[in-house]
């Protein structure tokens, strides 16, 4: 858990019972921002289909790709738009967030036949 590892490193030895709220606030901000990526990249970055699997991605690689989308060095259809709406802190926090996720296979979709009794 990156946030608390950071906290452990930075807290003063004289105030062992206190932690700064700043990393916690960043984590709370990052987890819902990261979750908005799930529509294309899957829950916690575990994508199925042709969008990149972000779960477990190396954070340096993640940041480099985001910069390449931003500069146009790496071609994209929508990522160049999204990256321009994020600040550098968010990009680096997203990189850490996704690198800490465990890659897993997506559960199969619970497909069904439309029932006769369904509304609409």
Partner 1 sequence: MQLNRRDFIKLAGYGASLGLVATGLPGCVTATKPKMGRVVIVGGGYAGATAAKYLRMWSLGAIEVVVVEANQQFVSCPLSNLVLGGSKSIDDLTFGYDVLKANHGIQWVHDEVTAIDTTAKKVSMRRGELHYDRLIIAPGVDFIYDELPMLQSPEAQQQIPHAWKAGWQTVNLRKQLEAMPDGGVFVMSVPKAPYRCPPGPYERAAQVAYYFKNHKPKSKIVVLDANAEITSKKGLFTKVFNEMYAGLIDYRPNSTVVDVDVATKTVKTEFESVSADVLNIIPPQRAGKPAQMAGLNNIDKRWCEVDFLTYESKLAANVHVIGDAISAALPKSAHMATNQAKICANAVVQLMAGLPLDAAPVFANTCYSYVTNQSAMHVAHVYRYDEVKKVMVPADGGGVSLNPSEQEGSNASAWAQNIWADTLT
Residues that bind partner 1 (CB under 8 A): 1-4, 17-21, 24-25, 27-29, 31-33, 35-44, 47-51, 77-78, 80-86, 90, 97, 100-102, 104, 106-115, 117-120
Q: What is the smallest separation between the CB atom of 60 and partner 1, expressed in angstroms?
A: 18
Contacts of 14 (CB under 8 A, 6+ apart): none
Residue from 19, 23, 9, 39 nearest 97 by CA: 23
Nearer to partner 1, 20 or 60 (CB): 20
For 81, the token pair is: 């738009």
Q: What is the smallest separation between the CB atom of 112 and partner 1, expressed in angstroms?
A: 5
Residue 34: HSE in the Cβ half-sphere, 13 Å Cα cutoff: 27
Q: What is the smallest separation between the CB atom of 34 and partner 1, expressed in angstroms?
A: 9
């Amino acid at each position: 858990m990156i946030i608390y590892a950071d906290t452990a490193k930075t807290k003063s030895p004289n105030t062992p019972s206190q932690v700064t709220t700043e990393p916690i606030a960043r984590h709370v901000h990052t987890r819902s921002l990261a979750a908005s990526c799930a529509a294309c990249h899957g829950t916690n970055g575990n994508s199925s289909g042709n969008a990149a699997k972000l779960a477990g991605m190396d954070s340096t690689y993640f940041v480099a790709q985001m910069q390449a989308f931003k500069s146009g060095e790496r071609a994209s259809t929508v990522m160049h738009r999204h990256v321009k709406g994020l600040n550098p802190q968010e990009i680096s926090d997203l990189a850490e967030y996704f690198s800490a996720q465990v890659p897993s296979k997506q559960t199969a979709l619970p497909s069904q036949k439309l029932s006769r009794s369904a509304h609409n």
